Structure 1
Amino acid sequence: MSTTQSERLRELLEPLVTSQGLDLEEIAVDSVGRKRVLRVVVDSDTGADLDAVADVSRALSAKLDETNAMGDDAYDLEVGTPGAERPLSEHRHFVRATDRLVKFQLAEGGEVTARILAVDEEGIDVEVPGVKGRKATTRRLGFPEIVKARVQVEFNRKDKKDMKEEEEA
C-alpha cells in the first residue's frame, strides 16, 4: 500500500498540531520554480491567532528538521489559516461558520446563499435573505444535499448590536 508524501507528512505532523490545540486542515507540497513549498493550514473552533500560528510553525519546523521528512533538498515551510472565503467540507467547518453567510451549491443543481443559523449531525438550518423587501426565510439543508459550500466575505454586515439598536429605534 503506497502512501503519498502529503499523507506521510500528515501522519507525522497532525499529532503535533493537535497538541497545540489546533486542527490540521490541509497539507500540500508544491514545486515553485526550483524550490519546494510545504503549505500547512491550521484552524480551531476559536480561530488561530498569529501567536498560535507562529508557535505551531516553530514546532513543525523543528519536527521536520529532526526527522528529515522533507529530504535533503531545500524547501520553504508556510503555515497559515484558511482564507476568508474558505470552502466548507467537514462538519466542524460548518459549525465554525455559524452566523456567517455561505454560498451553497446543491446536488439538485441549484445554488443558494444563506446565513448558517445552526448545525447538527444531519444538516444545517439557514436563513435565506429576503429579496426586494421580502422577509428572510429559514430553510433546512441536509449534508447530502450540499455539493459545495464557501463562506462569503461581507463588507457591510451589521453586527447583532447594530441590528438590535435599529429595532429599538
Structure 2
Amino acid sequence: MKDADKLNDALVSVVAGAGLYLEQVELKPAGKRTLLRVTVDLEDGPGGVGSDQLADVSRKISAFLDESPAAPSGQYVLEVSTPGATRTLTEPRHFRRAQGRKVVLATAGGDITGRLDSVEGDTLSLSNGGQAREISLSDVLSARMDVEL
C-alpha cells in the first residue's frame, strides 16, 4: 500500500468527524520537504465548505498527524483545501454537489453548457437561456464546473 493510500485510510474518520468528505490525499516532494495535500468536500448535495469548517478540519488533521505513525516522515507541509470552482466532475456525487452551478459537459455530440438544475438517478437536467435539456450521465465523456463572473 502506498503512503498516500495509508494516509487516506487514516484520515477518513478524522475528516468525517469534522462533518466533511475526504476527496483525495496527495504526497509530493517539495524540495527537502514533502507536500501533503488533503482535499475535502461536503458529503453530497449542493452547497459549499465554509472557511470555518475548513479551518476546523485543518486543525483536526494537524493534531491527528502530530500523534500518528501514518504521518509523513521528515518535514512536511500540510495543505487542506476544497476541490475548487472549476473541479472536474467524474462521479455521480460530484454532479450532485454541482447542482445549481454552471457546468460544461463534453459529449459525443459536442460540448453542452448550462446550469445543472437537478440530478435524478443517472439523468442530468440542465437549463440554458430558458431551454431545458436532459442528458444521461453515460453520455458524458468529461465534465467540469464553470466559473461565473
TM-score (norm 2): 0.89
Across the two proteins, how many residue pairs are aligned to each other?
146
* Structure-1 separation of matches of 2:4 and 2:72: 13
The 3-state SS of whatever aligns with 2:64 is helix
The 1-side partners of 2:33 and 2:58 are apart by: 19
The residue matched to 1:117 in structure 2 has which SS? strand
1:4-55 deviation digits (Å, cap 9, x = unpaired): 2221111110111011110111211111222210011111143211111111
Larger Rg: 1
Partner of 1:77: 78
Superposed structure 1 runs of 4+ greater than 6 Å apart: none
RMSD after superposition: 1.5
Matching residue within 36, 40, 43 for 1:42: 40
Alignment of 1:84-95 (within 5 A): 84-95=85-96
Partner of 1:150: 144
Q: Which has the higher contact order (CA 8 A, sep 6+)?
A: 2
Instruction: Return the offset for 1:109.
Output: 5.4
Cross-structure match for 1:51:
52
Q: Secondary structure at the match of 2:5?
A: helix
How do 1:95-110 and structure 2 match up within 5 A? 95-106=96-107, 108=108, 110=110
Query: Deviation at 1:113?
Result: 0.9
Unaligned runs of 5+ in 2: none
Q: Spell out, residue by residue over 1:85-115, the C-alpha distance to the aligned partner (whole angstroms, 9 max, x if none).
A: 1111222221221121101112x25211111
The aligned amino acid for 1:152 is D
User: C-alpha separation between the residues in 2 aligned to 1:70 and 1:15?
Assistant: 15
1:113 corresponds in structure 2 to 113
Alignment map for 1:125-144 (pairs within 5 Å): 125-129=125-129, 136-144=130-138
Instruction: Write the distance in 2 (CA, Å) between the matches of 1:111 and 1:34.
Output: 43
